[in-house]
Amino acid sequence: MKHPVAIQNICKEAMSHLEKRFMERDELIRVLVLAMMSGENVLLIGPPGSAKSQLARAAAQLFGSDQGFDYLLTRFTTPDELFGPVSLQMLKQDQYVRHTDGYLPSARFAFLDEIFKANSAILNSLLSILNERIFFNGREKQKVPLLFLMAASNELPEDNEQLAALYDRFLFRYEVEYVKMISSFELMFGAPTTPIPSLLSLDIVQQIRTSAQEAVIPEDLIYMLFQLKTALEEKEYVLSDRRWNKIGQVWKTSAAIHSRSEVSVWDTVLTPHMLWDFPEDFSIVRDIFSTVVQAALKKVMQQELPLDRYEQSVRAWLDKEEELNGFQFKREVGGAISGESAERAKAQLERCRTELEETARSLRGRLVAWQEKEKRLPEWIAEQTIFLLHPDQYAVKFTHLRIQGERILQTVQGLYRTLFDREIPGILYDYTL
């Protein structure tokens, strides 16, 4: 088995070759690589001439394979064109069998353009190929070696039950647009035209899928996935159980690529591309995902900056602030208070002082250490996953959590100042960063 780091480097090199040939497709290329490793289908929604079929062929070249199949579907396309002609020899023996060599049932890589124009004669066979990788060839269930299928359409299916079933077979969806930036437009004319090197292999894919089967999704991420499901359903975005299960399997595949035996929050970064039904909903589901994943990132941060623990400690004393202030006031003005109550209040006040000082020093130390880590946070995040296009965006999420920690420290200092009329000794922190 190849070393896990070697597999990551191979995947990064493969993505780099595609990025040099297809401008403004960086995130889509990451989706394609993860989909290929997961054995999932990808649907592209976009106008003609946006290099969808070229990208599919280039992805197949990464495997050095000529076992590809691409076809433009129309409502007049016949099953013979996709699945192969009927064998006349077998027909004489009263068996309806197709010659599938060179057609979709024998392909490892496939691209189907305008897939939703498929007629009912083709649709049922496509459903079993896309989901179970099985082609019903006469009486036989023919196993399809399909590793990856990418389809494209200019438009989404109308309210048609059969087409909805086909649509659901595409776990990954991506809206493709024409090149927008002038820098990309310029690079497009100088893009490499040499063959893409065969960097990937079926052996690598099998290794990853075997490892993915052994990976586990921890309870907190299952809970995160359920929170995501609930949040989407509140906005009337409903996914089938099959899709949720497949999302979990894709997370496991990402974990295997990164040599993790347990799924991490970093394996979830491409999840928004598996959630939407209509392109206009993508920004909404992405925001919902961002909100849910923020809590998961906080748990990652808890190992170095346990905010919940500090917040609970401060909250406990905030709840007793009025009582402690009352004792302080009575003591200052010489108010009547029994000896037993006075001793109990003094002990509580001393415990409060000690805990607030310890909390402030500990939190301040961790915040200072985290500030140092923040200087290379995008690089650290990039080391966690090869599929995240903009690590700096996740770095901002961590910055928000650090700001939350600073607010807790300010609360501790404020409470200490109120109760003891002085600053916590030895606590200096720069809040201006």
Q: Give 3-50 pLDDT, tens digit per residue.
A: 667 889 999 999 999 999 999 999 999 999 999 999 999 999 999 899
CB atoms within 10 A of CB 246: 20
How far apart CA 389 and CA 391 sit, in angstroms, is 6
Mean pLDDT of 231-240: 94
pLDDT value at 336 more than 90: no
Angle between helices 26-38 and 4-21 (to 10 degrees): 140
Per-residue DSSP letter, 216:
B
Residue 331: per-residue pLDDT: 59
Residue 4: per-residue pLDDT: 63
pLDDT value at 119 more than 90: no
Tokens of 33: 């690589």
Please, which pLDDT band fits residue 268 given cuts at 50, 70 and 90?
very high
Per-residue DSSP letter, 108:
S
How far apart CA 343 and CA 306 sit, in angstroms, is 33
71, exposed or middle or buried, with CB in 10 Å at 0-12, 13-18, 19+? middle
pTM confidence score: 0.84
How far apart CA 198 and CA 108 sit, in angstroms, is 15
Residue 344: per-residue pLDDT: 78
Mean pLDDT of 392-420: 88
CB atoms within 10 A of CB 283: 11
Please, which pLDDT band fits residue 333 given cuts at 50, 70 and 90?
very low
Q: Give 159-203 pLDDT, tens digit per residue.
A: 667 788 888 899 999 999 999 999 989 998 999 988 899 999 989
* pLDDT, averaged across the chain: 89
Q: Give 60-93 pLDDT, tens digit per residue.
A: 899 987 778 999 999 899 999 999 998 888 777 7
Q: Which of 240-254, 343-357, 408-422 ranks highest by mean pLDDT?
A: 240-254
324: nearest Cα among 359, 355, 352, 343: 352
